[in-house]
Amino acid sequence: MSSVQLQVFLQTVIQGFLLGGLYALLGIGMTIIMGVMKIINLAHGELMMVAMYIAFVLFSAFHMDPYLSVVIAAPALFLLGVGIQKYLINPVLKVDSILPENQVILTVGIGMVLVNVATIVFKSDYRQTPVDYSTKAWYLSDFWRTSPIELSLSLPWTVSFVIAVLITGGLWFFLTRTDLGKSIRATAQDQDAAILMGVNVQRVRMITFGLGSALVGAAGCLFIPIYYIYPDIGGQFTLIAFVITILGGLGSTVGAIIGGLILGLFESLTATYIGMGWAPVGRFIIFVAALIFLPGGVASLIRTRKFGK
């Protein structure tokens, strides 16, 4: 492998890793909703789109930095998520019907409404937040002058990745060290037992849906300096989040992080070595392969190999 090839390869891997960190945040939001509520939220990417537009509006009206808008967008999405759970999903869980997949179809309907309202309000133009650091980059040679190979790291990608890692860390702390976090994990493990232990499952469900939405909202704000936005952007991210969830193992947070990283790497590699247009196909090949060869996801591997806990 010549040094140029090596350079391209390393660059691809790093890029995939950074992307994977953001994907992980996206996947965690979906996986905790799935773990607690046992439903697939197909409006996940659309919620992210809402957060991206909140960040966009804050930027264009008040010149607020997209990274700062996490503080506003995430709580806003939390409230939106709680509202959706309370007024739309809960009533459906109660009605009896022939098809049990009604909740999934319901979230599709919610997603359609969100996308369409965004199209009406913001038009389908591609928009972005032109921040001055969006094209800045780090170079390996800045730190290591005699380096034989040259690597570059985009500044916004790095910052987004670091914030994503911080948020994930905060979430981990919340889930393992606080009472509320413990009741969420208890409900995910065994709902009936959680009720018997005095957990208010209704409240936990609402908070979980809100939390999942807030996480994807934060991910949206982190994506903004890198991506452009348009109302339909959500759909692909819903699929990405779902693929990560399957890859990681349903309801497993650690699995979602690993799944996100694997997917990020794989997509980056497909885009470099096969072609940009095929990156989404790579995503689905991973998905199908995971379904067939590793139906329990990475989480099942962790469990059998007794990694970690």
Q: Which positions touch another protein (CB under 8 A)?
A: 39-40, 88, 91-92, 95-102, 104-106, 108-113, 115-117, 119-120, 235, 239, 242-243, 246, 275, 277-278, 280-281, 284, 287-288, 291-292
The least distance separating another protein from the CB of residue 89, rounded to whole angstroms, comes to 10
- Rounded to a whole number of angstroms, the minimum distance from the CB of residue 97 to another protein is 3
Cβ proximity to another protein, 120 vs 193, nearer residue: 120
Identity of the amino acid at 206: M
Select 73 or 286, whichever has its Cβ closest to another protein. 286
Work out the number of other CB atoms within 10 angstroms of the CB of residue 47. Answer: 31
Nearer to another protein, 73 or 243 (CB): 243
Residue 123 Cβ vs another protein, minimum distance, rounded to whole Å: 9
Using the structure block, give the residue that is written with the tokens 């999934």: 104
- Of residues 227 and 278, the one with the C-beta less far from another protein: 278
CB of 110 to another protein, least distance (A): 7
Instruction: Output 76 or 110, the one with its CB closest to another protein.
Output: 110
Closest distance of CB 243 from another protein, Å: 8
